[in-house]
Structure 1
Amino acid sequence: MTVTEARESIQGIETRGRVYSIGPQASRPYGGQPAWQRKYFAGIIGSDVAAGVLGAALAFAARFGHLDGHTRVYALSLVALPAVWLFALGLSRAFEKRYLFVGTEEYQRVVHAAVGLTAVVAIVSYGLEVPTSRVFVLIAIPTAAAFSITARFAWRKWLHRLRRSGRCMKRVVLVGHESSVAALIVQLRREHYHGLNVVAACLPTERPRGALLEFNTRVRGSFDRIAEAVAAERADTVIVLSCPEIDGQALRRLAWKLERSEVDLIVASALVDVAGDRTTVRPVDGLPMLHLDHARLTGVRRVAKDAVDRLGAALMLLLLSPLLLGAAFLIRCGSPGPALFKQERIGKDGQPFTIWKFRTMYTDAERRLAEIAHLNESDGVLFKMKDDPRITPVGKYLRRFSIDEFPQLVNVLRGDMSLVGPRPPLAVEVAAYESDMRRRLAVKPGMTGLWQVSGRSDLPWEEAVRLDLRYVEHWTLSLDFVILLRTVTAILRPQGAY
């Protein structure tokens, strides 16, 4: 929701003592586990049981194919493996709420369960001299893990669809300074998949001064009234933003007040967006100190990423070759000019390279840019326009489904780009970069990235930069995998593609 839309939805401001009401107050149970969460847990548990059955059945069929006295023991795995698989997932904490709904940690926990279970079977089989079919084990457990990950991804997409319509949301009370609270509200409304609906806020001063008057949010007093605000709003989550007024002692007291009501307490440190998973707590003379590790941009993980990039690009070029040839044919038939468009972009460490794309504009697009420059809808250095008259009819279709980007697979194969990374900038953009923005050049640019799956051209310039910087600071192979999966969804639901 934009600021204008939020302002238009305001139904009036009514002052009643300490409460400043802006819009209607929703109602949902206070504390405890909501019904949608219980259904979600039941769904993933059922899927994991089915994964165990499927893994055992496929392994039995592939290894033996028939039932006799020798294979009857393995047939019992249809019952045993689902139970053992659930136990392994539980030990790996794959059912803990903190790892579900968003992020890659849930899938990593499933992989850890599969690796651990395989190791345990191997050790027990060797130590107790129990005859075990290695083929059976190496089919059953990976199949169960793959099905569990796929099913959990499907459940998560189902939940995100519901959250787009405002369902299955957590009721949140934000605590912090007004500007920080307003900024987080904007972000959470854009990133609905987090499932966090801000229903109230507590500020250092009880009366909002302006920023929060743009949103449908209540201000329920100052920091000493957080528990009362949670109870009044029937909230199930409290998010405390960085502010000097709330120290460790205040957080402990707040946690004590909230623990009986089962309300989640989240501390949104300013360090999370900078370092995140690179932070560790290490005691020094009994005092807990937060240590920040440097971003790992080189080494074995970088080599692995390059290998995955080039192998993936080669495979995709092979599979998509009919589509690429068809697109090139339509471009040549649709308007005069070549099928491919090449342009200089800036890559890793500021090195220029030639990027390849399908041509989606008329050949005189650069000359006509001056005529429509005043219609720029972007707040950054790039020109963006939803109904750009320079785009050909075929080009509109190609852009809608991001087919025009597919020739960049050649750039990935050559090593100029990565499958996932920051958006490849123009030289004119880099010239206008502030010092922080140059951090984007620490890694190879990507065909897709957090910017691509979070709104594409609809994103404000500052938000696109923030997402690119977040990727540079937090990248992992598992994050790349999740972004690639989300890219498929973004292409099929082409919001912000123009």
Structure 2
Amino acid sequence: MYRNIVKSWTKHIDFTILDIICLELAFLIAYVYRNGIPWKGFSDRYESMMWAIVLVDICVVFFANSYDNIIQRGYLVELKQVMVHCACVVVGMIIWMFVIKQSGDYSRIVVLCMYPAGVCIMIVARLVWKRIIRIRMRERKDLRRLLVITTDNHAEEAVRGLMQPYRDYMFAGMVVYDKPEEVGKEIRGVRVISDRDHIAEYMRDEIVDEVFIDLSGYEKEAEQLMNLFLNMGLTVHINLSQFTSNMENKKIHTFAKYTVLSSSMKFVTPNQMFVKRMMDILGALVGLLLTGTAYLIFAPVIRHQSPGPVFFSQERVGRNGRKFRIFKFRTMYMDAEERKKELMEQNKMKGFMFKMDNDPRIIPIGHFLRKSSIDEFPQFWNVLKGDMSLVGTRPPTVDEYKQYEMRHRKRLAMRPGITGMWQVSGRSDIVDFEEIVALDAKYITEWSLRTDLKIIWKTVQIVLKQDGAV
């Protein structure tokens, strides 16, 4: 799943709010300069003027494209943009005063003095905020991992073009398609990690979120690679200057300095991901309160029936191969993992998951915890941390993941969830792993916030009815 890069003013809502604050402060300075400190508050007409500044600034941002490439802009370019922006706001305020036919009630000095004050305050505020953003971007640990596949004669140029100063991705490595002897070397600081014959093997063992393909002269091979990666649930960027293709889900946009044709299982906007994350945080906070209550009730019972820790933790595999530790209430005896090998013949799942009826490893209270799904409650901590989401695909164990074929990786194209399409589709009745993969792929390709809300509602109904639980 790929997050769209938004080109509209909403992408820079932080700068919009910052500019409004700067303009209001400039207005206050201009007002004090003209009329003195308003000890008894502003008059009604100047309160209206403060609201007008907000509306005029939003209009300027919307129509003037003030924040285009703002993070990369230098000091002089930024100063020029600030001067133009403030001038447009001042002109807009003058027009507003004439439109409401109350221009005589306002001091022109206040409006005109806003300009130099606004320029000085805004340039400082923008430069400081940009500095903070750059530091945060350099320190981010959740950068997308990009694999570059190109030819020897285009390798340096490809890296140079992708090596943008404030990129939101990091290099997972490079494949020099036509020179296997380059493996192990570095090209402009990017390590060549594989040759053309071992790409699939590398992808199986390493974390890769996106692939940039620049294979001039290898159009057929590039198309095959593109189909392979899309089937794995990855996002693929094709350098349009070298390659075109008929992809079902595609988008032409700028990636670094290149115009590319990108394809992914699903394109989403930052606004959609923001809302989904806010849903996760709110849901996790409520869920952790329930988890605390469940702990007080069931922790003594778990310890009594099977001495040991109350919580069970296990390493799982999340989005595009990222490993994290999942938490549950322990529902099995302490030697459950060792006994699993003895019970593999009774596994009713067809594929890389384990499930059996009347599992003897489950402690007495464990049956109730599983049937009511209370054992899953500690995973709200994983949701709050960002390892998981409320709704997604179930994260496999490391052993299961190692057995995956390439096509199975598509179910890891987004953050795993506590519940999902499989769980609300009769999870106890589905025993074919390929059917689970198909359901997960359907969820990812058709994802929407409305779908998440429907799945959450169905999950609540299933839990209350204790229907279809393990």
Structure of higher CA gyration radius: 2
What is the TM-score of this pair, normalised by structure 2?
0.43
